[in-house]
């Protein structure tokens, strides 16, 4: 159905920004990122997240560190680099402008 495809494209368009927002305060384990996104109704699976995290790392926006876990093998925690924080802040400005523009269009067309 066309609606589902459009909704999926819209989610995909903001997914990168949402991932960077999840890491705003502290490093995050991939499963934690998935859980936060799912709690906020942003549907994502591991097969989507890991390639995106790798691309963000390769772009210099993220780094990671391994930490021992009491529940199994060591875990990889992702963290924003300074470049990643700056990029996230730039996306935040763009997001706010987009939300404002859509709100204006919504009001004008009501």
Residue 64: give its domain's CATH number. 1.10.10.10
Mean pLDDT over the full length of the chain: 92
| Helix-helix angle 2-22:30-39, to 10 degrees | 130
Distance, in Å, from the CA atom of 47 to the CA atom of 11, rounded to the nearest integer, reads: 15
Bridge partners of 75?
Answer: 67
Q: How confident is the model at residue 39 (pLDDT cuts 50, 70, 90)?
A: very high
Three-state SS for 24?
coil
Report the range out of 3-17, 32-46, 93-107 with the highest average pLDDT.
Answer: 93-107
pTM value? 0.85
pLDDT at 25 over 80: yes
Count of structural domains, the chain = 1
By C-alpha distance, which of 95, 16, 96, 100 is closest to 51?
16
Provide the β-strand partners of residue 64. Answer: 78
Please say if the pLDDT value at position 105 is more than 90: yes
- Give the pLDDT confidence of 56-74 residue by residue, as tens digits: 999 999 999 999 988 889 9
Domain span at residue 19 reads: 2-108
């Amino acid at each position: 159905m066309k609606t589902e495809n459009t909704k999926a494209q819209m989610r995909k368009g903001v997914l990168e920004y949402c991932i960077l927002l999840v890491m705003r305060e502290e490093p995050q384990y991939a499963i934690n990122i998935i859980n936060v996104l799912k709690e906020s109704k942003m549907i994502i699976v591991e097969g989507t997240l890991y390639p995106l995290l790798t691309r963000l790392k390769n772009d210099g926006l993220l780094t990671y560190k391994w930490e021992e876990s009491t529940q199994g093998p060591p875990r990889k925690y992702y963290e924003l680099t300074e470049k990643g924080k700056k990029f996230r802040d730039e996306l935040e400005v763009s997001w706010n402008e987009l939300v404002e523009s859509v709100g204006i269009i919504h009001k004008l067309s009501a």
